[in-house]
Amino acid sequence: MPDWKKLIASKIAVAQRGAAPGKINANVRVPAGQTEVKNFPVLDMGMKPTIAKSDWSLRVYGLVENEINLDWSAFEALPQITDVSDFHCVTRWSQLDMDWQGVRAQDILALAEPLDNAKFVTLHGYDGYTTNIALEALLDDDVIVAHSVLGAPLTREHGGPARMIVPKRYAWKGAKWLKAIELHAEDRLGFWEVRGYHNYADPFEEQRFSDD
C-alpha cells in the first residue's frame, strides 16, 4: 500500500507551486535551471532605441472597437499601481522582488475594447522587436505596462520610457520600448518564437524552447 497521505500531500504541494510560485514555499521562487541575481542584467537585440517621453506613444490596434494611441500624459493619467513580481530570463538568471510601477495592461486594453474575435496579441517594441501572447494572458491582474522599477524610472537600456512585464512568463514576453499592442484572431509568432523559443514560456515548466 502506498502512503496515500504522503502521496496526496506531495501532489497538492506540486499543484500549489504551479498556481502560486513563491507564496507557498520560498524555496520554489527560483525556477529549475535558473540562478538568482541581484544586478538586473540587460538583455536585448542590441538596438536600444532612444525614445523621449514626448515622442513616445502606445497604440492599441487590430481587432478592437476603438483604436487608441496614448501619449505620455494620457498614460500617466491612468490608474497607477505597483506590482511586485519575480523576473526570469530564459538565459538562466532570475531577479526576485521587482517592484514594477505603471498601468495594468487590462486597463489599457479596456479603453480599446477588444472585439470578440480578438484572441492573440503581438507586442511591438520601438526597436522592431515583437513577441506574441494570448490576449487572455495579458488580461491577468499582474501584467503591467511599467515605467519604473527599483525606485527609479526605467532606464533606456531596460526599455524606458515604458515596457510590458508579464510575470508568469519568461522575460522575453515583455517587450521593452513598448510601441504597440496589436490584436488578432490567430496566433502570430514573434521574434524569438519564430526562432524556436517556446510559445507559452512558463518558467516553472522550463518551457524554454518549442520542443521542451
Ligand X SMILES: Nc1nc2c(c(=O)[nH]1)N[C@H]1C(S)=C(S)[C@@H](COP(=O)(O)O)O[C@H]1N2
Cβ contact 142:168 at 8 Å: yes
Quick one: what does residue 127 bind among Mo ion, ligand X, none, with the CB cut-off 5 to 8 Å set by partner type?
Answer: ligand X
Q: CB 151 → Mo ion: shortest distance, Å? A: 23
Burial of 153 from C-beta contacts in 10 A (0-12 / 13-18 / 19+): middle
Cβ contact 131:171 at 8 Å: no
> Which one of the spans 29-37, 73-81, 138-146, 172-180 is the region binding Mo ion (CB under 5 A)?
172-180
Binding mask 155-184 for ligand X (x = CB under 6 A): ---xx-----------xx-xxxx-------
**37, 68, 89, 98: residue in contact with Mo ion (rule CB under 5 A):** 89
**75, 87, 126, 172: residue in contact with Mo ion (rule CB under 5 A):** 172
∠52-55-57 over CA atoms, to 5°?
Answer: 115
How much is the CA Rg of the chain, to the nearest whole Å?
18
Q: CB 89 → Mo ion: shortest distance, Å? A: 4
Q: CB 170 → Mo ion: shortest distance, Å? A: 7
> Which one of the spans 4-12, 20-28, 36-44, 57-65 is the region binding ligand X (CB under 6 A)?
36-44
Q: Does 142 bind ligand X (CB under 6 A)?
A: no
Q: Does 37 bind Mo ion (CB under 5 A)?
A: no
User: What are the start-end ranges of the H helices in 88-176?
Assistant: 105-112, 135-138
Of 41, 38, 39, 13, the closest CA to residue 27 belongs to 13
